[in-house]
Structure 1
């Protein structure tokens, strides 16, 4: 379960990340709450700040992937982490000084988004350089465990601190937490890194990355599904804040608790992923996408705050299964000289739709109901998973088969079989999907 931690460089990275990510989640909650406070509860304003923060992904993430393929990833990460720390510092000083206004938050969110857009593909493609190919699936799962452990701690702590000392000090604390990851990067032994030969400089490298992804049916389906689910389904930063404040009349601590229960589910999913002996396959990804959509709809329909919190746990587990499966498929199936660009395209699909989805979902929450982002986003996610499976059936020579449930299961198992390869490429086991997706170890 913790095999990747045998690598010293990865131990340093994981320990630095847990400190930094706690601060990142503290800031996310504080930023959303500050925007709601400055805008008198306007959900559209939260959508706008999210659009500004994730908008740079549209034009910078792929170039970040190009930089990752060409240059020293560790040095790039040091630069981007310093830039993000400065964003937290400036916003904290403005807030503590009592001079912050809404446009300050918008501007700093945009600058933070620029640094994050470059950082994300570099950080994702740096994982294999720390641990090598053999430990990569375990390291990806442990990254998710670290991320979601911070996601449990950060929002809960942030909600309490906002109530006690205000949002400004939370931003300043976040700036201080970047020290952990910067020290970890500085202490790494560069001779122990599994570095790949840098890609040669040349024209058309971004276009080459897009051609490579579009030329593979599996990656094409994966990227489209990631874009739709991430743009409309993974909207919890907006939907939970609006739901807590405008539907249930709760404060920042209640919003933080909802974020924490979601993270409990994702941490459970990450624990299962870390124990998995074989990397997840495309069937796990598609099944998790559809099941996630169904559970998100249920979250949006829950009548009480407590039931929403309870339903967020399995929803979080499916979120993690969806994202981890996508990451494993991409990193394990692309050549090293193309990995940075492919991860850049992945981050473009994963975050690039947020500038489109967040304002639309925020507007729907204002004009329809605060529950609308969850219900509509869940429906789009469900259709995306099922639609991707149907696409494979029509264009990738696969056929649907239904077999009887094994012992201990109560529902049938639906499999998509390639007409040439007898092994199923997509499986949706309705009994097991929300608990342990992709456990099957067949080739």
Structure 2
């Protein structure tokens, strides 16, 4: 593989930001309109669980596809599928009588696209960005994505307050964002490097990929931590609209502020790692995630909107720091021929338990309300202890 010579790539930086902006705006509208129409979080849990199942099976194959085919072609095709899915379901949906079928269908299509586009885009970064610029590029990319998460609830709250858009309008905005990111990915100058993965079949490629990862404890730890924190992040996103609707007056602006502060915390985490010139280390992940767990426990025991607002910022900060480090550690520890399969396995671990987690927490939230945060914080602390002990045992075995 030719050594990358650039520390920056504008289309590769902007495309995820634009698609995330439209997708986050759609999810904002989806969460609000569904909870408003049904009065509970159960349908959201079912929709997220369905998407998790799709991602699970997509992640099984995406690594093989990303390592065997041109990664640019994979990500461009995935963005195009998302555009067509949004347009089709916008035509099908009746905004006055929201039903599960079009929303579940769209979730399936979007998550098929996500299952292939995200690993392909992440696998392109080491081939286009220098080693020295990689963590900074990942940090700036994540900061832009968090900026999208700030803009989307502000814009979404404004649109809801002005009554300009129904759920169909949010869908059309999402289609537009995917169309723009499609064009940006298409403009990237990229050529598939020759490697041995192209000579392997699907079964052999999967087996070699899993064996490669299992022999590297650092990659195993990153995968398991990623799965844990993302399941609990999804649970947090279910609790927030429920709490606003049932505990804090049902004011859409209050829900917007929670998402904005969550994203502001993410931006601060991204800026922290943008300015950090040191190599990422696993111990830093544990420090940040323990802080997040303690903050969530405080919000669970103390049901107060302003406490929840502060805790949302802390959680966003810690989550962003972990995510950037996890991506950079993965890219640095993985050989180029295995990048697609490595990210496929990472996202498989993230998505594998989300169907059960989203489904369970959708109903748990209806039952325990704010105390669900106590369950989330406790699960995070317990999980961190178990994973650290597991990692130490793997190191001793090696």
TM-score by length of 2: 0.91
Shift of 1:281: 1.3
Q: How many residues align?
A: 391
Higher relative strand content: 1
Partner in structure 2 of residue 300 of structure 1? 300
Partner in structure 2 of residue 382 of structure 1? 381
Partner in structure 2 of residue 218 of structure 1? 218
Partner in structure 1 of residue 25 of structure 2? 26
Partner in structure 2 of residue 327 of structure 1? 327
Partner in structure 1 of residue 246 of structure 2? 246
Q: Map residues 312-351 of structure 1 onto 2, 5 A cutoff.
A: 312-351=312-351
Q: Secondary structure at the match of 1:26?
A: helix
Find the aligned partners of 2:386 and 2:155 in 1 and give their Cα distance: 40
Partner in structure 1 of residue 69 of structure 2? 71
Find the aligned partners of 1:381 and 1:286 in 2 and give their Cα distance: 11
Shift of 1:29: 0.9
TM-score by length of 1: 0.82
Shift of 1:74: 0.9
Partner in structure 1 of residue 395 of structure 2? 396
Rate the CA distance shift 1:57–1:175 in 2: closer, same or farther, 3 A: same
Find the aligned partners of 2:22 and 2:213 in 1 and give their Cα distance: 34
Find the aligned partners of 1:152 and 1:279 in 2 and give their Cα distance: 28
Deviations 1:414-437 (A, max 9, x none): xxxxxx9xxxxxxxxxxxxxxxxx
Shift of 1:150: 0.4
RMSD of aligned Cα (Å): 2.4
Q: Map residues 157-306 of structure 1 onto 2, 5 A cutoff.
A: 157-163=155-161, 164-165=163-164, 166-190=166-190, 195=193, 197=195, 199=197, 200-202=199-201, 203-306=203-306
Find the aligned partners of 1:61 and 1:345 in 2 and give their Cα distance: 7
Q: Unaligned 5+ residue runs, structure 2? A: none
Contact map agreement 1:145 1:270 (CA 8 A) in 2: yes
Q: Secondary structure at the match of 2:131?
A: coil
Rate the CA distance shift 1:280–1:73 in 2: closer, same or farther, 3 A: same
Find the aligned partners of 2:76 and 2:308 in 1 and give their Cα distance: 39
Paired residue for 1:45, among 43, 62, 66?
43
Find the aligned partners of 1:81 and 1:395 in 2 and give their Cα distance: 39
Higher relative helix content: 2
Deviations 1:16-55 (A, max 9, x none): 33322211110111112232234x2221211111111222
Higher relative contact order (CA 8 A, sep 6+): 2
Deviates more, 1:309-318 or 1:244-253: 244-253
Q: Secondary structure at the match of 1:340?
A: helix
Partner in structure 1 of residue 88 of structure 2? 90
Contact map agreement 1:286 1:386 (CA 8 A) in 2: no
Q: Unaligned 5+ residue runs, structure 1? A: 399-419, 421-443
Contact map agreement 1:33 1:241 (CA 8 A) in 2: yes
Shift of 1:177: 1.6
Contact map agreement 2:126 2:134 (CA 8 A) in 1: yes
Find the aligned partners of 1:208 and 1:201 in 2 and give their Cα distance: 9
- Higher Rg of the two aligned structures: 1
